[in-house]
Amino acid sequence: MRLVVGVDRDDDLGRKAGIPGPVLGRQAVLDAAVKLGTADPEDSDTNAMFAAVNLADELKQNGEDVEVVILTGDGRVGTISDRRVASQLDQVLSRLTVEAFHLVSDGQEDEYLFPLLASRRRVDSIRKVYVRQSASLQGTYYTIVRALKDQKLRTKTLLPLAGLFIFLSLIWYFQVWSYGLVALSFLVGVYLLVWTFGVDDWLLSQAEGFGKDLRQGSITVFFGVLTLALVIFGVLLGSLAFQADNPTRPFGSHMVALLSVALIWWVAAAVVWETGWALRYALFRGRIPKSVWVALVSFTAFGIESYSLTYLAGALLGWVDPSYLVIALIGVGLGIATGGLAGTLRQYFRAHAVPPAPAEASTSPSPVGP
């Protein structure tokens, strides 16, 4: 059997028409396309769904055994949506014996999933769907205006552009062109990194999780706030140590001063966060997870190792007093030993792990999380 696959990576089908994926079968896909077209007549995914049905009909006329399916992702396009698509594809493959795929795409975004399909079965063809538009200036203007009404497109294009104009106007008003242009180039670079690696989507998902935990009164919220405060304290106190260092010393000496203060607070932040997670687990499961001890020892090892390496590099490069060299070497050895202890604890807990009881044996109600 060949499977004609249409991919709605940003889940317009679910968000606009209320239809969850996967949508399997010719009639089901047609019904879904009509419902999506009714909800949003200008959505290109509607055309792609009809094109998938059209391709399946063509292949059937040539005597091939064909089925058609539409896979849906998530509005936060990226890792989350691709995982949903992969999960739905595996569901379909568990029900059907499929030899090869035919991918139907309405844009470059859906074709990012080609490796995902190819990792499961052979991909015989890719069909692109182009929506015919008026060539007149008025038609082009209308198309652009309608496209800019898409919230996702506005967030990715107009919001950064608005910030750029505001920043340029502030530079002009205060006449700080040299500092302003440096800051502007830095912010543009940060934005490009955030956009490239999908950090914005991750931050949004974290914000949603934070809001959910806050509404439910989860203790991790308070530990999270304390963790963030410790990280900020580390940055601020490290910056003060950077400025207080002897100005005649090289730049590396200032960085050693900064890290020697900041690392203590950052490791403390990691320990606080892990403690909050362990307490939440204990309230939910009735016991403290063994993994927390491994994590705490690992964080301690990381702190000792980082702190010692900072002074070791400073002593070797002449940024700090050479007398720190011996102490730094001892600290590096202690950090390695502590890291080895964390690995030993992990192996010990894994070897003595108790297998979970079967679900049928438990008759007590599931506990409610904090």
Asked, as a colleague might, if the bond just before 20 is cis with ω within 30 of 0, I would say no
pLDDT, one tens digit per residue, over 324-369 is: 788 888 988 998 998 888 888 888 888 876 555 444 444 444 444 4
CA angle 53, 56, 62 (to 5 degrees): 145
Q: For residue 237, is pLDDT > 80? A: yes
User: Token pair of 117, please?
Assistant: 């399909």
pLDDT of residue 149: 66
Parallel, antiparallel, or unpaired for β 66-72 and 23-24? antiparallel
Residues across the chain: 370
Q: Is the CB of residue 299 less than 8 Å from the CB of residue 270?
A: yes
**Residue 208 to residue 212: CA distance in whole angstroms:** 6
Distances (CA, A) of 71 to 16, 40, 184, 357: 15, 18, 41, 36
Q: Is the CB of residue 296 less than 8 Å from the CB of residue 271?
A: yes
Centroid of chain to Cα 191: 15
| 314 Ramachandran zone, left/alpha/beta (phi>0; psi -120 to 50) | alpha
> Which residue would you say has higher pLDDT here, 210 or 108?
210
Burial of 6 (0-12, 13-18, 19+ CB in 10 A): buried
Considering Cα of 148, then 152, then 157, then 161, what sign does the dihedral take? positive
What is the pLDDT averaged over residues 37-53?
A: 88
CA atoms within 13 A on the CB side of 53: 17
pLDDT, one tens digit per residue, over 293-317 is: 888 888 888 888 888 888 888 777 7
What is the pLDDT averaged over residues 13-36?
A: 91
What is the pLDDT averaged over residues 125-141?
A: 63
pLDDT of residue 253: 78
**Residue 64 to residue 354: CA distance in whole angstroms:** 52
- Tokens 């390695």 belong to 336
Centroid of chain to Cα 288: 28
> Which residue would you say has higher pLDDT here, 19 or 179?
19
pLDDT, one tens digit per residue, over 183-230 is: 778 788 887 777 777 666 666 676 777 667 666 767 777 888 898 899
Q: For residue 132, is pLDDT > 90? A: no
What is the pLDDT averaged over residues 87-95?
A: 91
User: Token pair of 151, please?
Assistant: 């919230």
> Which residue would you say has higher pLDDT here, 113 or 157?
113
* Three-state SS at 1: coil
- Tokens 């990691």 belong to 270
Parallel, antiparallel, or unpaired for β 122-128 and 100-105? parallel
pLDDT of residue 280: 80
pLDDT of residue 100: 92
What is the pLDDT averaged over residues 102-109?
A: 78
Burial of 136 (0-12, 13-18, 19+ CB in 10 A): exposed
Q: For residue 246, is pLDDT > 60? A: yes
pLDDT of residue 153: 67
Residue 105 host element (H or E)? strand 100-105
**Lowest mean pLDDT: which of 16-25, 74-83, 125-134?**
125-134
pLDDT of residue 257: 83
> Which residue would you say has higher pLDDT here, 111 or 31?
31
**Residue 212 to residue 221: CA distance in whole angstroms:** 10
**Residue 46 to residue 54: CA distance in whole angstroms:** 12
The average confidence (pLDDT) of the chain is 80
Q: For residue 70, is pLDDT > 90? A: yes
CA angle 37, 42, 48 (to 5 degrees): 65
Q: Is the CB of residue 303 less than 8 Å from the CB of residue 260?
A: no
pLDDT of residue 360: 43
pLDDT, one tens digit per residue, over 171-187 is: 888 887 777 787 778 78
User: Token pair of 153, please?
Assistant: 């497109």
**Residue 266 to residue 275: CA distance in whole angstroms:** 14
pLDDT of residue 143: 64
